[in-house]
Structure 1
């Protein structure tokens, strides 16, 4: 891979590829698009034949379940506006989705495995590592794992929210070195092409952290829960892991192999130069921040320029109610600087915010640490 043509050589260099496919690619109005699934299976099987490990993160279970329930109710759609209904639809559709995948990959001599995960299940480091070991064993057997969120047991506050977010978390789980996000759009545009006919596709993004996602992304697809905003956020997270992302259309007669080499297809997003460890990545993204610490200008400079830990003296305001060890976000002047694990509860921070380190023990008693958030437990420029 070179900066002159960043895609060149990707197929030769990538050893493990994670592919995410969205509902807009896999489904049509009447349900799952089996032709699209077979086409995708053929594409991925050819990559697998070249010696690549393939992990697929797939949407489509809820759409498949809705279609089946429509059939069962003589064309009338049951009420599906709430979370339990969506979870029930997923329970109906998950088996149909995997049956069709198993059959599609079977045409090409491939074996698949279903992996259902929840955000809660990955929030425990031991369970996360156990899931990684299982995934590694499947890949060593030549199996193509198909990952989806276990919607039927996830509660709303512990959902990934969309499969783009799930795919980003799975990158750290799988140790992939390339991320392909198949969508209905031909890449990332500088504005929403649905509302701006003059929108231009960005064929390469060298610094994804410099993009204004809010301005660029003001639309979602109708059958999915993501939209381009979530795809860019997932690519930002992938970039922090040192993983390049290709966002490309998966509709019609697409070719992943051709998109790897041809710069006229999709958008290629380069990884950042200063990558983070998989452990810090997991720390920052295994759950949503439960609180917010607003810091002063001096603390902000120490964090962003000096690579320092956050001390209570630099905290101006504490929002939220949380115990010790909770993930919180750090902001300054309304801008989010990063996320990290708080060494103190919210009540303790209310008492010691703005105080020097020598005053902490006098205020709340002896403590084994002085930092509010240690640098080792802090990720700056987090894609939240």
Structure 2
């Protein structure tokens, strides 16, 4: 274990709240706070992504069901967020650890200038020895600017700050081949080293986890895919045993661990992964797929067989092989209508087809991030 690493720890609603209405798992939360403070004392930089604002707000307002409308959810989150931070502040203050509240929406990461500003804020807080506590800004986010769940948010934050580790603390000790709560024959999954295996698990993963949370195992697999694509090792483990974070950092076999892809440590490429929600998909022929994966080439129109989505120029797109497997993500230089006209054609034909001189590349290699297993 290196002397100092940057890690993001996400704890879910199911780990924060007890089994019944009005309960709060203070013992779990206290153990988490103690663990994070110990990691700080060891020199690690720590970011906590915490769910629970809506759940705690519901309990504070004596609501028996999770809100269904966006306005109601935002109102309840406003009630719960303050109480959640009050509890964290009390616990961290008892150990003389300063904290900060950071609320994010999707637009904070999608716009390049705001992404850079968010990065600088996180880096300054970490340099000051502060533990940022992050949540989605539920009280102002409109539906199209929401992350959807804090699993995704934590993966994007880990990518944003260039973390080495992402820990997803949940209500099971690791991934299983089936739901261990209903299937006693479920087999544990210790490690996942290939992106293709994440894709396979996503195909069979269930939906929402608990009645109070927004994320099930599918969202955690998607978060692991985002994080590992950005070069962040990801661990899914039991939220009731926060000391598992320390054990994993010490090299012990804990939870389900996802090996990161090797990625260049370039801030712009991390932004493409973390900041830009994909607006479409491009499908490539085998030659273009090989050129992208092994040749380090830019994507040309000639290698594209079809497209999906109504994207604009400079939007992010997912790049797929013929079978539809995700192989990369990048920023596209043409909108969907233009690209539909030039796909399959050589670069020198673009000016004649469109009636004006466009760029030679559809996605330049500087704006392209490989998202699949190295050959």
The match for 1:247 is 236
The match for 2:134 is 147
Distance 1:342 1:208 in 2: 23
In 1, are the aligned partners of 2:283 and 2:319 still within 8 Å (CA)? Answer: yes
Distance 2:93 2:43 in 1: 18
What TM-score do you get using the length of structure 1 for normalisation? 0.87
User: What is the aligned counterpart of 1:277 among 222, 242, 266?
Assistant: 266
Q: Does 1:20 align with 2:7?
A: no
In 2, are the aligned partners of 1:304 and 1:380 still within 8 Å (CA)? Answer: yes
- Greater Cα shift, 362-371 or 148-157: 362-371
- Greater Cα shift, 166-175 or 59-68: 166-175
The match for 2:55 is 63
SS in 2 for 1:284: helix
In 2, are the aligned partners of 1:293 and 1:317 still within 8 Å (CA)? Answer: yes
User: What is the aligned counterpart of 2:45 among 53, 66, 70?
Assistant: 53
Q: Does 1:105 align with 2:92?
A: yes
The match for 2:360 is 370
What TM-score do you get using the length of structure 2 for normalisation? 0.89
Alpha-carbon deviations, 1:238-292, whole Å to 9, x = none? 2233322222102168553245447453223322345563421211342322222
User: What is the aligned counterpart of 2:79 among 92, 95, 99?
Assistant: 92
Aligned residue runs from structure 1 range 215-364, under 5 A: 215-222=203-210, 223-251=212-240, 254-261=243-250, 263=252, 265-274=254-263, 277-331=266-320, 332-364=322-354
Distance 2:327 2:241 in 1: 41
In 2, are the aligned partners of 1:21 and 1:183 still within 8 Å (CA)? Answer: yes
Give the deviation of 1:37 after TM superposition. Answer: 1.8
Aligned residue runs from structure 1 range 165-244, under 5 A: 165-211=152-198, 212-222=200-210, 223-244=212-233
Give the deviation of 1:79 after TM superposition. Answer: 7.6
The match for 2:26 is 34
Give the deviation of 1:312 after TM superposition. Answer: 1.6
Distance 1:79 1:53 in 2: 34
Distance 2:160 2:343 in 1: 36
Distance 2:272 2:244 in 1: 35
Q: Count matched residues.
A: 368
SS in 1 for 2:103: strand
RMSD: 2.4
Kindly tell me: are residues 368 and 360 of structure 1, through their superposed partners in 2, closer, same or farther at Cα, counting changes over 3 Å?
A: closer
Distance 1:377 1:255 in 2: 37
Kindly tell me: are residues 176 and 380 of structure 1, through their superposed partners in 2, closer, same or farther at Cα, counting changes over 3 Å?
A: closer
Kindly tell me: are residues 196 and 156 of structure 1, through their superposed partners in 2, closer, same or farther at Cα, counting changes over 3 Å?
A: same
* Consecutive unaligned residues in structure 1, runs of 5 or more: 1-8, 71-75
Kindly tell me: are residues 255 and 301 of structure 1, through their superposed partners in 2, closer, same or farther at Cα, counting changes over 3 Å?
A: closer
Kindly tell me: are residues 150 and 242 of structure 1, through their superposed partners in 2, closer, same or farther at Cα, counting changes over 3 Å?
A: same
